[in-house]
Amino acid sequence: MQTRHGFMTGFLRAVCLSGFIGSALAGNLTPPGPPDSAESAMYTLESIWARLHDGTPGDKPTTGYVGPAFGPDVSLAIPNLNQIMYACPTRDDERGVTSTQVPTGKTFWGLTTSEWGIRTGTGTRVLSPDSYVVEAGYYEATDLREVDGDLTAENIVEGVAIFGVEGTAQIGDGGVYPAPLAKTGQMTSTQMGDDGDFQKGVVWPSPRFTDHHDGTVTDNLTGLMWIKAPHTLSGNAGQHTWSDAVVFCNELTHAGHSDWRLPNVRELLSLIDYDNYDPALPHDHPFTIHFQSGYWYWSSTSTAGLTEYAWIAVYGVGYATNAGTKTTWHYVWPVRAGE
């Protein structure tokens, strides 16, 4: 009797314990209602599969379980649990986005460990005209012409479209039209409405000049390359007549370039900063030239109607004059490139 009693006691304990564990693992075991009541209605596997597969909302039954009136239709493809599992989203910490990468207020399903499930975006992505790099993420609808004010038809060659903007600029020999003028550099205003007040023109790049450390300097505004210290060139310490100046530049080979020439008057004046004097050059210029009064530089531009004269640039105060005949002697500053 004791053996039998001990067995029954152990059996009952095991049953009770297994029931307790089952309750703990399965949650609330109390049915919501009888099988045929509306409280017991549940989504079908087909509904769950459809939502995962193509987003179909699915309708939850409004009545309880009703037995089938006839056997299953074997022609229908009923999804099994493996198919449903394969349709479920998978965690992806490498390619999954986070809430900061999704615009504020937009709903998405997070795939990362830290943001799994339905989430709401909190990020803001803004395009910048200062960089061609676009950060990863989503962006609100944007008009690129508002991001970069230079994205205009007149800044694009005719026949070319950039981000949907059709160019209207005309191409001619050696350039694109219109050809905008650069700022004069003058920032001091003496009266409302003057140059120092408006400061119109193309903004100078920063830095304005690039020193190649081979005796040459590029003006980043015009693209022209100048000799950094022209009077250190052999045969150019002194002055030349206009004809000799043209020949000297055309025959010059320096820093691996042999296409040097005598600059025209507009090229000489392109270096002038009208807010400076002695010399009238930009503050960050790296050049060593003569700028004192009386030190004039030949241009290759002859005077209209007086071909025995040529235009000359003066860098002390910054101006050009055609007062010199071509037989007089002035300084030479070679230039290259430019269209």
d(CA 53, CA 87): 6
Q: Domains, the chain, ranges and CATH?
A: 145-179 (no CATH), 195-336 (3.10.100)
Asked if residue 285 lies in contact with residue 208, where contact means CB atoms within 8 angstroms, the answer is yes
Distance CA 102, CA 97 (A): 8
Identify the pLDDT of residue 41: 79
What pLDDT was estimated at residue 159? 85
What pLDDT is attached to residue 66? 66
For residue 279, say if its preceding peptide bond is cis, omega within 30 degrees of 0: yes
**What gap in Å lies between CA 280 and CA 298, rounded to an integer?**
17
Name which of 169, 166, 200 is nearest 185 in CA terms: 200
Q: b/e string for 282-306 if b means 16 or more Cβ within 10 A?
A: beebebebbbeeeebbbbbbbbeee
**DSSP per residue over 4-15, as a string?**
HHHHHHHHHHHH
Predicted pLDDT of residue 54: 80
Q: Which two tokens stand for residue 330?
A: 């002035």
The pLDDT profile of the chain, 339 residues, written as one tens digit per residue, is 444 444 434 433 444 444 434 444 455 667 777 777 777 778 877 888 788 778 788 777 777 666 666 665 555 666 788 888 888 889 999 999 899 888 888 899 999 999 999 999 988 777 887 887 887 766 777 888 888 888 888 888 888 899 889 988 877 656 666 778 888 889 999 999 988 899 998 899 999 999 999 999 999 999 999 999 999 999 999 999 999 999 999 999 999 999 999 999 999 999 999 999 888 999 999 999 887 766 899 999 999 999 999 999 999 889 999 887 999 999 999 999 855
- DSSP H or E segment with residue 162: strand 161-162
What pLDDT was estimated at residue 182? 86
